[in-house]
Structure 1
Amino acid sequence: MNPSTISPCIIVQNVQLARDFYSAHLNAVITFDCGWYVNMEIGTAGATLQFMQPQSPEQPLFQGGLTYNMQLQSTDLVNTMHDRIVGAGLPVVMPLEDHPWGDRGFATLDPYGVALYIYAETEPSAEFQQYFKK
């Protein structure tokens, strides 16, 4: 198997809530929207995500436990995004910190409890360098 892309589709009751959040706070560009399904692109690297309202009673709603790791190009951009998130009054569930595993990042939540870990790579500590395979 050799897929050309893999992207998450989150099943939610209200697609508009997700669409509005990602457009307003992460500059997502809507590439498809039929009301009950929306496809969004974030950034220029081809990152996409989708939200869909259930189309049958058997289709389960998202129950939480998902984190999007969103890598930015620099720690300055991470700092700017952190200030933007805090300024918008969104929750910060993991504080902005430099981590020994090799990044600077923080986490917030979308309206459905999906965690967004926003980070940029930094030099890992000696303790964590041994775990990198490349």
Structure 2
Amino acid sequence: MDIRSASMTLVTPALEETRHFYETHFNARPVFDCGWYVVLRLGTTDSDVELCIMLPQDGMTTFTGGVCLNLRVSDADSVHERLHRTAGLAVEIPLEDHPWGDRGFGLKDPAGTMIYCYHPIAPDESFQRFILDDSQ
């Protein structure tokens, strides 16, 4: 199987609020928009990271949580500063170093998705044996 990319679709009645959240705080821009289904590209203009948002259609189950969208960023501290301190967004997971090899924090979007923003750091020795591919 030759997978070239992956994206997640959030099915939510809060499409507009969720779209606005990503456009405002994650430099998202629409690359497809038919009103009830929007594809947002996150980050810089050369990014291929996409998130889809969809209004429930024909009895579809809406998103109720349980998903964490992990966003690897260049500097979690500056993203935390911008989103929490400057924009006033509530942080659900505090900014801290984790022994498995990242520094990050988490917050929720209007649809209830946990967004975990992180950058890699050296893992503690106790986690070295769990790293199966260090090419990232």
Query: Normalising by the residue count of structure 2, what TM-score does the alignment of the two structures yield?
Result: 0.90
CA distance in 2, matches of 1:3, 1:100: 30
The one-letter code sitting in structure 2 at the alignment partner of 1:100 is: P
Show structure 1 runs of 5+ residues with no match: none
Q: How does 1:1-134 map to 2 (within 5 A)?
A: 1-43=1-43, 44-57=46-59, 59-73=60-74, 77-86=75-84, 87-134=86-133
Assess if the C-alpha contact under 8 Å between 1:95 and 1:106 holds in 2: yes
Percent of residue pairs bearing the same amino acid type: 38
Deviates more, 1:39-48 or 1:60-69: 39-48
Assess if the C-alpha contact under 8 Å between 1:15 and 1:35 holds in 2: no
Q: Cα RMSD (Å) of the superposition?
A: 1.1
* Pairs aligned (count): 130
CA distance in 2, matches of 1:69, 1:52: 20
Q: 1:112 deviation in Å?
A: 1.4
Assess if the C-alpha contact under 8 Å between 1:39 and 1:50 holds in 2: yes
CA distance in 2, matches of 1:94, 1:14: 23
